[in-house]
């Protein structure tokens, strides 16, 4: 009888451990997918930001072309060097 009770307790403990390990594995899978999803989101946001900056630069260049160089965008140090050379 004692042997039978011991076997039942061992079997119950095995099932508890199996349930906990399965739950742990499921949690790890969700964390892994969540991390991959977040990394994909961040990557797409960076790509969108880079494309936006590229479009802004292209617009600035186009505006500069439209003004035919009427607007001076050189830094002050370059202007000082040009004036000193003259």
Q: Is the model's pLDDT at 31 over the cut of 90?
A: yes
* pLDDT, the chain, mean: 87
How confident is residue 82, by pLDDT bands cut at 50, 70 and 90?
confident
Tell me the C-alpha distance between 19 and 84, whole Å.
81
Higher-pLDDT residue of 7 and 32 is 32
- The CA–CA distances, whole Å, from 42 to 37, 47, 54 equal 9, 9, 18
Q: Is the model's pLDDT at 84 over the cut of 90?
A: no
**pLDDT score for 73:** 66
Spatial neighbors of 72 by CB under 8 A, at least 6 apart, are: 79
Q: Is the model's pLDDT at 70 over the cut of 70?
A: no
Distance of CA 73 to the CA centre of its chain: 35
């Amino acid at each position: 009888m004692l042997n039978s009770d011991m076997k039942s307790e061992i079997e119950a403990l095995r099932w508890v451990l199996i349930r906990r390990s399965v739950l742990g594995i499921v949690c790890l899978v969700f964390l892994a997918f969540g991390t991959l999803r977040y990394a994909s989101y961040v990557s797409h946001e960076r790509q969108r930001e880079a494309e936006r900056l590229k479009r802004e630069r292209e617009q600035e260049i186009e505006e500069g072309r439209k003004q035919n160089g009427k607007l001076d965008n050189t830094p002050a140090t370059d202007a000082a060097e040009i004036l000193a050379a003259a």
